[in-house]
Amino acid sequence: MLAKAELIKRRTGSYPQQLDDLPEDPCEEGKTMQYLYGDFETKISFWSPEEKSIVKRTQKIHGVKVWFTTRTCDKNPPHELFMQVE
């Protein structure tokens, strides 16, 4: 879905406000993947060489985000993906 949003941006010059034909959530029948373009908060985790550990933070970004409404399921891929944009 991130790739689809990027292709639309390349074709039209801007990211779509909404996407049609979103895939169905494999764990919850009738629910689909969600899409958001705009400002949002997301939790990020990264390795910090200075702290020699994994650091978790909440960060405000402007971008494109896709996610499944179901948070826990053995069949689900990562439940949230995002791409920060200018």
Give the Å distances, CA to CA, from 74 to 27, 47, 77, 79.
8, 26, 8, 11
Number of domains in the chain: 1
- Tell me the pLDDT band of 10, cut-offs 50, 70 and 90: very high
Phi, psi of 8 (to 5 degrees): -65, -40
User: pLDDT tens, 33-76?
Assistant: 888 899 988 888 889 899 899 999 898 988 888 887 766 666 55
Please, are residues 37 and 66 in contact by the beta-carbon 8 Å criterion? no
| Domain that residue 20 falls in | 2-84
Global confidence as pTM: 0.68
Q: How far does Cα 29 stand from its chain's mean position?
A: 20
3-class DSSP state of 9: helix
Side chain identity at residue 37, one-letter code: Y
